[in-house]
């Protein structure tokens, strides 16, 4: 599971006795390192592909393959191509066995047999009607999580077509800490906000890889998660000497009757429209029921009046108002007349209604692509009217929205913001780990624009009507490795995928197939570099990526077109696929 949350600007101060205390500032969440395209880097790739591990794979599996190696580790990080048949992998257990068999057979490609033995199953998604399955492994060294260590395999039409990941040869790093869990937590308590009643800290021992351009150093560390109210920070403490190594803000910010819901169409200032209050839980003396997709409901029982009550709680979201009483309905039903339950200003606030609608709509929209993901079947807590402004966040267990003020509207009233924060929750429970924070921000935006079909993310976030981001902003048209802040780096990928999305719609590729091509890569890609290959694997129709996929050229041409800043998008081929025409230039904005 991807366990990363994000929390906004926060500096934490190290206490001192004499000199002014130095500051320890929380940085960005973990993110994928960007390669620098040089002749030397190309020479490293060429050298590694001619080494015995790669040559043995190519000799065993005929066809056309693209191999990409991690320059610092010297091991495979991406493999895609013609595909080859795996043993029967029609069940999750069989897929895991077949995947493990392949990785063990080519252990030298990934490092060593010892490294392969460190893989543990971190999630499987089976899409049997479309003959697509993916499995994600996480790396555990002597039982300890290795931060960023993962390997994902994708099978299309019974053939293995894509392998992506990074495995770290931790070697002889001692795994017995010199300082204990309590001591590590005490170090963190010195530099974060003092805990209050109900706050708590947790810690787990991990292996923390630290990259330089040409090597990786490994550190035994305590990963301390500090909860302060609804807020959360993650800090790494060296397990040998108690040194504060790094930390990041860990909340994901960004911005016989029928029930109906009066909501803003998309954002503040839009027309108020009436929609079914679907998946709403109602209670009575004769039990409870949940409305269907049309808002319809019924209670069975004896004749006579029946008192019914409800809050904006349902199958997929429980909305809580932190600035006043929760939305409440109490009414009396009679068997001889259909009852109309309306959520309006008299029973609820606009932000309560808007959040209830947006979460239900997004959950059901995504459910057709991921019908078996357990998290989708449970109600997420949604807190509205937090006493802050100009933001919203996912904190690992709930989505949270702020009141209006300081030039911003109430963030619970903006569909895009709710979809984005719900997307962080979904991403946290999809297969895989939180390796690339920018990919997480992109996924949040993806949940919005695939539904709204608009490049403007959260219009009406500001009281002047402006959005938070514009996927057609020229400043994000060309890939730029210098853009490292997670929202900006995610925006770069959003610009590419938005253009792919609109190009596909223009070709007539729409509806459920388009939705699947946009969302299904979430369970395959763990970094932005891996998104291109993941899209091809989802698009594949014959278990062979080397002969092209139905939309490969369209996808590739947009990634190439957005490589206009002198740096190619990570993960795309070094040369144009032979069956694709020359790449188009970016459309003018």
Specify the higher pLDDT residue, 314 or 356: 356
**Token output for 297:** 């409901």
Split at pLDDT 50, 70, 90, the class of 172 is confident
Split at pLDDT 50, 70, 90, the class of 328 is confident
**Cα 576 from Cα 66, distance rounded (Å):** 12
Split at pLDDT 50, 70, 90, the class of 15 is very low
**Cα 5 from Cα 262, distance rounded (Å):** 31
**Cα 145 from Cα 167, distance rounded (Å):** 12
Which pLDDT score, from 0 to 100, does residue 303 have? 45
Which pLDDT score, from 0 to 100, does residue 140 have? 95
Which pLDDT score, from 0 to 100, does residue 253 have? 59
State yes or no: pLDDT of 33 exceeds 80. no
**Token output for 319:** 């909305």
DSSP character at residue 474: G
- Which of the residue ranges 138-142, 403-407, 583-587 would you say has the lowest mean pLDDT? 583-587
Question: Counting Cβ atoms within 10 Å, is residue 240 exposed (0-12), middle (13-18) or buried (19+)?
Answer: middle
Split at pLDDT 50, 70, 90, the class of 566 is confident
Q: How many helices (H) and strands (E) does the chain have?
A: 13, 27
For 479-513, write each residue's pLDDT tens digit: 999 998 899 999 999 999 999 999 999 999 999 99
**Cα 30 from Cα 18, distance rounded (Å):** 34
State yes or no: pLDDT of 540 exceeds 90. yes
Which pLDDT score, from 0 to 100, does residue 191 have? 79
Q: Residue 497, SS3? A: helix
Tell me what the mean pLDDT of segment 287-310 comes to.
Answer: 71
Which pLDDT score, from 0 to 100, does residue 6 have? 38
User: How many residues are given for the chain?
Assistant: 589
- Which of the residue ranges 3-17, 72-86, 317-331 would you say has the lowest mean pLDDT? 3-17
* CB-CB contact of 70 with 571 (8 Å): no
* CB-CB contact of 277 with 283 (8 Å): no
- Which of the residue ranges 62-76, 158-172, 188-202, 438-452 would you say has the lowest mean pLDDT? 188-202
Which pLDDT score, from 0 to 100, does residue 194 have? 75
Which pLDDT score, from 0 to 100, does residue 11 have? 22
Split at pLDDT 50, 70, 90, the class of 22 is very low
pTM: 0.83
State yes or no: pLDDT of 10 exceeds 50. no
Which pLDDT score, from 0 to 100, does residue 589 have? 44
Share of the chain above pLDDT 70, in %: 88
Which pLDDT score, from 0 to 100, does residue 283 have? 76
For residue 394, count other CB atoms closer than 10 A to its CB: 28
For 182-219, write each residue's pLDDT tens digit: 999 988 888 787 778 878 889 999 999 998 877 899 99
Query: What value does the mean pLDDT of the chain take?
Result: 86
**Cα 257 from Cα 358, distance rounded (Å):** 22
Split at pLDDT 50, 70, 90, the class of 346 is confident
For 216-260, write each residue's pLDDT tens digit: 999 999 999 888 877 788 999 999 999 999 888 777 655 456 778
**How many alpha carbons lie under 13 Å from residue 380 in its C-beta half-sphere?**
31
Which pLDDT score, from 0 to 100, does residue 360 have? 96
Tell me what the mean pLDDT of segment 306-317 comes to.
Answer: 80
**Cα 394 from Cα 419, distance rounded (Å):** 11
State yes or no: pLDDT of 19 exceeds 80. no
Which pLDDT score, from 0 to 100, does residue 176 have? 94
For 79-119, write each residue's pLDDT tens digit: 999 999 987 778 999 999 999 999 999 999 999 999 999 99
Name the residue among 384, 377, 413 with its Cα closest to residue 398: 384
Which pLDDT score, from 0 to 100, does residue 68 have? 92
Which pLDDT score, from 0 to 100, does residue 256 have? 55
**Token output for 218:** 């490994």
Split at pLDDT 50, 70, 90, the class of 447 is very high
Which pLDDT score, from 0 to 100, does residue 333 have? 65
Split at pLDDT 50, 70, 90, the class of 353 is very high
Residue ranges with strand state E in 128-230:
132-141, 144-156, 159-166, 200-212, 215-228
Query: What is the bridge-based pairing of β-strands 380-389 and 317-321?
Result: parallel
Specify the higher pLDDT residue, 346 or 563: 563
């Amino acid at each position: 599971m991807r366990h990363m949350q994000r929390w906004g600007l926060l500096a934490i101060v190290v206490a001192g006795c004499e000199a002014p205390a130095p500051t320890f500032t929380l940085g960005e969440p973990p993110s994928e390192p960007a390669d620098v395209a040089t002749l030397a880097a190309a020479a490293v790739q060429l050298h590694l592909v001619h080494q015995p591990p790669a040559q043995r794979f190519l000799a065993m599996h005929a066809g056309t393959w693209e191999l990409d190696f991690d320059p610092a580790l010297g091991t495979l990080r991406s493999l895609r191509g013609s595909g080859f048949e795996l043993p029967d992998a029609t069940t999750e257990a069989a897929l895991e066995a077949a995947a493990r068999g392949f990785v063990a057979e080519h252990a030298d490609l990934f490092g060593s047999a010892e490294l392969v033995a460190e893989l543990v199953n971190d999630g499987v998604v089976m899409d049997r009607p479309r003959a697509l399955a993916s499995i994600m492994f996480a790396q555990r060294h002597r039982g300890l999580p290795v931060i960023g260590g993962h390997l994902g395999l994708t099978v299309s039409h019974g053939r293995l077509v894509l392998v992506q990941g990074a495995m770290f040869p931790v070697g002889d790093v001692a795994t017995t800490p010199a300082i204990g869990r309590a001591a590590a937590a005490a170090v963190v308590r010195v530099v974060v906000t003092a805990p209050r009643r109900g706050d708590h800290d947790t810690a787990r021992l991990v292996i923390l890889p630290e990259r330089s351009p040409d090597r990786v150093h490994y550190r035994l560390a305590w990963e301390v998660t500090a909860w302060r109210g609804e807020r959360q920070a993650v800090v790494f403490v060296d397990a040998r000497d108690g040194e504060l190594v790094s930390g990041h803000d860990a909340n994901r910010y960004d911005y016989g009757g029928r029930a109906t819901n009066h909501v803003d169409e998309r954002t503040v200032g839009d027309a108020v429209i009436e929609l079914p209050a679907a998946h709403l839980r109602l209670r009575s003396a004769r039990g409870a029921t949940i409305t269907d997709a049309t808002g319809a409901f019924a209670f069975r029982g004896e004749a006579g009046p029946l008192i019914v009550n409800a809050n904006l709680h349902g199958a997929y979201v429980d909305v809580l108002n932190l600035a006043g009483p929760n939305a409440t309905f109490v009414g009396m039903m009679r068997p001889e007349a259909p009852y109309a339950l309306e959520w309006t200003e008299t029973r609820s606030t606009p932000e309560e209604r808007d959040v209830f609608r947006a979460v239900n709509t997004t959950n059901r929209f995504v459910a057709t692509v991921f019908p078996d993901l357990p998290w989708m079947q449970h109600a997420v807590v949604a807190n509205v009217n937090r006493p802050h402004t100009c933001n919203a966040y996912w904190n690992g267990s709930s989505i949270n929205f702020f009141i209006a003020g300081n030039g911003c509207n109430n963030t619970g009233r903006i569909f895009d913001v709710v979809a984005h924060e719900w997307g962080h929750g979904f991403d946290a429970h999809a297969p895989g780990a939180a390796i690339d924070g920018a990919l997480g921000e992109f996924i949040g935006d993806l949940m919005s624009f695939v539904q709204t079909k608009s490049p403007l993310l959260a219009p009406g976030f500001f009281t002047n009507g402006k959005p938070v981001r514009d996927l057609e902003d020229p400043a994000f048209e060309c890939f730029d490795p210098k853009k490292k802040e997670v929202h900006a780096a995610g925006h770069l990928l959003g610009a590419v995928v938005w253009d792919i999305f609109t190009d596909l719609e223009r070709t007539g590729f729409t509806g459920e197939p388009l939705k699947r091509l946009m969302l299904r890569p979430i369970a395959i890609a763990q970094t932005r570099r891996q998104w291109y290959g993941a899209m091809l694997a989802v698009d594949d129709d014959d278990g062979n990526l080397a002969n092209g996929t139905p939309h490969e050229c369209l996808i590739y041409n947009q990634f190439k077109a957005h490589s206009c800043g002198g740096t190619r998008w990570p993960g795309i081929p070094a040369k144009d696929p032979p069956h694709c025409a020359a790449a188009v230039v970016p459309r003018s904005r």
